[in-house]
Chains A and B, each alone.
Chain A
């Protein structure tokens, strides 16, 4: 099973600043990685797929990068509405998720 390890566990950032979230994979995923945003009481929302392609309607300040075993999600010009838990997910070998990064906007 592919294990995804996300860091940090929690991140607190001021509005207007940027944040970078990390996702490390135990196996080579090529570009088969997605990122999701989940707010309390809601289902996860797809942000990024193919490691770097934004899903429909996702603002340009969300960007994904990486290949193989190391991936990042970068959010620039943070807004209060970006407060959420962010998950990475791989679909190279069936489907597994990381444990999540809690992003707090100060």
Chain B
């Protein structure tokens, strides 16, 4: 049974960076059958896709255009985990952040079938 376990800070100050980690159990982060996504949810913006990473002969990373300049998704293969790093945060980045299993570039017809428990991040001084 595949599970996603998230960890990260609950409070971040404006202009600082936010990092959340997602540990994957029951599957390999380098699987060629899926990709690993980040999605966030806030009352003002609803559910918003942030980006994804996966492995298809080499690692790929795709980001939402609106966040591309501030967002980085990294992979730690020995620990079988991915991380999200969001720079220069503002109160607008306050949200619940989810690690999610979903499609890579060749998994046509696949949606988001497994979600982590979510991490509430508040950006405030």
Complex alpha-carbon distance, A32 and B118, angstroms: 25
Whether B49 and A95, one on each chain, are in contact in the complex, defined by CB atoms closer than 8 angstroms, is yes
Count contacts between A and B, CB distance < 8 Å: 47
Query: How many residues belonging to A are interface residues under a CB distance threshold of 8 Å?
Result: 20
A74-97 Cβ-contact flags toward B at 8 Å (1 or 0): 000000000000010101001111
Selecting from B17-25, B84-92, B103-111, the interface stretch reads B103-111
CB of B3 within 8 A of chain A?
Answer: no
Give the dominant DSSP class at A's interface. loop
Give the nearest-CB partner of A46 in chain B: B113
Q: In the bound complex, how far is the Cα of B98 from the Cα of A96, in angstroms?
A: 15
**CB pair A89 B46 closer than 8 Å:** no
Is there a chain B Cβ closer than 8 Å to A43's Cβ? yes
Interface residues of A (CB under 8 A from B): 31-32, 34, 36, 43-46, 49-50, 55, 87, 89, 91, 94-97, 99-100
